[in-house]
Amino acid sequence: MCFLCNHEALTNVQIDETPTLLIAGSLAVVICVARNGKSKNTKSRSKGGRIHRNGRYDRSREKKMAKIIAGIFGGYLFLVFLAPIAMPTDSVPELSGRANALDYMTENGTTGWGNQNWSDDGKLGHNQSAHGGSFVWSELNPIWAFTYGFGDLNCHQKHHRSWEINGNQLAFCVRDVGIFAGAAIGAAIFGRFGLNRWTLRDTFLSVIPDEWLVGVYTRNQRGVASLGIAAIFILPMAIDGFTQLLTDYESNNMLRLITGLGFGLLLGIVFVASLCARPKDFDNSGQVALPGGARFQMMEEE
């Protein structure tokens, strides 16, 4: 029986301050977007098949790349939640390390920095003995070791900014969990609506309905539109994070989750768009269909 369908197993899982339904909903969105609904990418039909909004008949690469990227981000996010559930209760103590460094790989030494008894008043690290004792992820089985090792290398893992399940702290802080969830959703959204439109900028914008972009293309403001959209998703996280870093302000986990989701959403879309923007899939730039009947114009050498 599937673990999620086993009500008794779910009842026995201890979850502390974790909006699990929100994360489960995020993963459900990936599946829903990828499998349900009808795409609006088709303009018309012909004997050769469907003509999509970019003027091409085939968008198999867009779907393939989206599945790969959503699978990578979503798959690892699944491990981040599965590991603390599957591991014995209270196996992972409260952690507090450094980003871009290995702090809990060993008991001592440079890669065991987090297991030392630092001051609790510092911005990095804490008295590990007073927070549940030492933790060495390299002694776990390979799957859980990879899960916590990757988190150790890329995240500070501060316990007060992280969730705990089954008495075990997750491998990533709440903001990073939001980024992973958002990236998986963003990739899935591109897989449903995104199109190769020659350049990365135009491929990125293809997830937006063409009718919303007519004015943007008529005035040739694609660059401004792209930067504006990116700012909307990046600035909330940047403001929250840097304000927290540079002042005494302390954010909260829900705000960290929301800002991380926004940034991750943008990251997932851009990631897949960068893999799908391929001029070689067109005979020439004039073949690319753009919103409002716009067309690329190639600059001629004098």
**Tens of pLDDT along the chain (302 residues)?**
444 454 454 445 444 455 555 555 555 555 555 555 444 455 544 445 689 999 999 999 999 999 999 999 999 999 999 999 999 999 999 999 999 999 999 999 999 999 999 998 888 899 999 999 999 999 999 999 999 999 999 999 999 999 999 999 999 999 999 999 999 999 999 999 999 999 999 999 999 999 999 999 999 999 999 999 999 999 999 999 999 988 889 999 999 999 999 999 999 999 999 999 999 999 999 999 999 999 987 654 44
Q: Are 74 and 123 members of one domain? A: no
Is there a domain that residue 18 lies in?
yes
Residue pair 110/98 in contact (Cβ under 8 Å)? The answer is no
Q: Are 177 and 272 members of one domain? A: yes
Is there a domain that residue 299 lies in?
no
Q: Are 261 and 112 members of one domain? A: no
Look at residue 90 in the predicted model and tell me its pLDDT.
Answer: 96
Q: Which helix (H) or strand (E) holds 169?
A: strand 168-169
Is there a domain that residue 296 lies in?
no
Q: Are 200 and 134 members of one domain? A: no
Q: Are 148 and 180 members of one domain? A: no
Residue-number span of the structural domain to which 111 is assigned: 97-165
Q: Are 72 and 103 members of one domain? A: no
Look at residue 25 in the predicted model and tell me its pLDDT.
Answer: 59
Which residue, of 114, 136, 165, is where some domain finishes?
165
Which residue, of 105, 130, 165, is where some domain finishes?
165
What is the model's pTM? 0.84
Number of compact structural domains in the chain: 2
Look at residue 121 in the predicted model and tell me its pLDDT.
Answer: 86
Which residue, of 120, 147, 165, is where some domain finishes?
165
> How many C-beta atoms surround the C-beta of residue 221 within 10 A?
14
21 class by beta-carbon count within 10 Å (0-12 exposed, 13-18 middle, 19+ buried): exposed
Is there a domain that residue 200 lies in?
yes
